[in-house]
Amino acid sequence: MSSSLVRAVALAFALSMPAFVCAAPITFSYAGSIDNDPFGVFGNATFTGSYTFDSAMTQVLSTPSSGGYAGSAGLFSMQVAFTGTSDPALEGATFTGDSLNITVNNDFPGPLDQYLVTGTSTTHSNLLIELTFDDNTGTAFSNTLLPLTAPNVASFFSPRFALFAGTLDNPLEAEGVVDSLRCTAGCRTNTVPEPSTLALVAALLIAGRTARPRKRSNSK
> Has residue 101 got a pLDDT over 90?
yes
Total tally of structural domains belonging to the chain? 1
137 occurs within a structural domain: yes
94 occurs within a structural domain: yes
10 occurs within a structural domain: no
156 occurs within a structural domain: yes
46 occurs within a structural domain: yes
172 occurs within a structural domain: yes
> Has residue 198 got a pLDDT over 60?
no
Residues 208 and 202: their CA atoms lie apart, in Å, by 10
| Cβ–Cβ under 8 Å, residues 144 and 65 | yes
Determine the angle formed by the axes of helices 195-210 and 3-16, rounding to 10 degrees.
Answer: 160
144 occurs within a structural domain: yes
Cα distances (angstroms) measured from residue 86 to each of 96, 118, 163? 21, 25, 16
Count CB neighbours of 127 within 10 A: 21
Task: Express each pLDDT in 116-129 by its tens digit.
Answer: 999 999 999 999 99
**Domain around 185:** 18-192
- Confidence band of 108 (pLDDT split at 50, 70, 90): confident
- Confidence band of 71 (pLDDT split at 50, 70, 90): very high
Calculate mean pLDDT across residues 39-55.
96
Residue 66 φ then ψ, to 5°: -140, 140
200 occurs within a structural domain: no
- Residue 169 is predicted with a pLDDT of 87
Provide the mean pLDDT of the chain. Answer: 84
- Residue 110 is predicted with a pLDDT of 77
